[in-house]
A and B are shown apart, each in its own frame.
Chain A
């Protein structure tokens, strides 16, 4: 089940997206955690960076935003100041500025507000699964994982239904900007100069900017739309309203952050159920308790957001390395989530793991995933409905991984589903 690959001899190139087309190079991360926990990595086409791979180190540093700042870029590649300013969202700010915006948008994604959407989510999951399961053999990544997250986000935000397919496509282009299957403008291969002020340096970013602008204008003239967007557009206690640019960038951030992440989590979970039938059995037999812990274990297992970056604001030392002001430091959450000093049997899926101190959501710092309650709920409800409908689940061909070292996972997942004979 572990996706170790003979080509990963412990020295895989973490800057090369091609490395990840064979799955996460877990041998390399294991070696780094053991031998070189603050490792200098050459960037290839861009400046080199430090790789932080241990759970303990990330937990200790993620909250220290004065030392390791988000305000100079959070992607591994470099960007100029102008590019950074044009594309920047609140994810690229530090407290206290970050805290102010985070509180503005936080309510809409808080646990109690998201919980109220659970029946909407269930309805959507049922429709997607009923359509997918009309066939016995199909690509679960295309027919299940890809369908859910954008529709869900659209419903929750209160976006018109007819726009959802378009949004799914744009979301793909926006974030999978290193895989030729999803974009004509590959970040590390083609000339993307023309789009350098757009989110993710991609033309899809331009389309989404325009869409967000229109959405906002319509909302402001027509009033309430029923989704959580209303909460975000409402004036706050100080009577401040979100600015057009802030809203536009925030909207793009939601599309980018809420789409692929959940998708790869669902694919990883279905893949695990297909490879290890005992997990399916456990979920079928399981009570409420297992559904409280299983989603986080699948999210730890998937770790779809493999890293985010920070920048050192002054010189410091760690594990005998001298980090200089301006150096890029990458938090490899995917590595922390397999850290054998923090997790008992990290390469096993333990559906009742509790506590589960994984860092898939960027725990331990102010930027902890805004959508984590939504992501957990989606994962839980989709799997509940899938398990209920499935007697047996198996792989029906070879899987393929996305070409990305940033957000990634299984992009093709041929499965065969033997449906449960309806008992009622």
Chain B
């Protein structure tokens, strides 16, 4: 298990223990994190699992892969320099304590 925190502007943070090996999209859906739908089940077809990785953590999560890079142009809230699709990040020990910011649509 690793601790992951989602920060949601105007709402309480959500912190949860996530089994190693689960994707952070699955983790968000399991914990009812608002605005993270993960509609394509992690197949890089929907971009509804978009998160902003906290800048302090971006070095650890790493940059998006090629397909993910293209899909980040299709997110509802415009991408930022630390944007990732959370279905492409898997919970691992290095990510214990990771902080993600949830993009809020207008």
* Residues in chain A within 8 A of chain B (CB atoms): 59, 62-63, 95-96, 99-100, 102-103, 106-107, 110-112, 355, 361, 363-368, 372
Contact = CB atoms under 8 A, between A and B. Distances in A.
B17 interface: no
Contact of A365 (B32, B43, B71, B73): B43
B31 to A, nearest CB: 12
B47 A110 contact: yes
16 contacts: A59-B41, A63-B40, A99-B67, A102-B45, A106-B45, A110-B73, A110-B75, A112-B74, A112-B76, A355-B32, A364-B41, A366-B40, A366-B45, A367-B45, A368-B40, A368-B46
Contacts of B78: 112
Interface in B17-47: 32, 39-47
A103 B43 contact: no
Contacts of A59: 41
B39 A361 contact: yes
Tell me the dominant secondary structure on chain B's binding face: loop
B71 A103 contact: yes
Contacts of A111: 47, 74-76
A63 B43 contact: yes
Interface string B41-59: 1111111000000000000
Given A102-B45, A112-B78, A355-B32, A364 B40 contact: yes
A63 B42 contact: yes
B43 to A, nearest CB: 4
Interface of B: 32, 39-47, 67, 70-71, 73-76, 78
Nearest to B105: A111
Contacts of A62: 41
Nearest to A109: B74
B67 A103 contact: yes
Nearest to B47: A110
A372 B74 CA distance: 13
A414 B70 CA distance: 46
B103 to A, nearest CB: 12
Nearest to B32: A355
B39 A366 contact: no
A59 to B, nearest CB: 7
A367 B39 CA distance: 11
Contacts of A372: 39
A374 to B, nearest CB: 13
Given A103-B70, A103-B71, A63 B41 contact: yes
A365 B45 CA distance: 8
B44 A365 contact: no
Contacts of B44: 95, 99, 102-103, 366
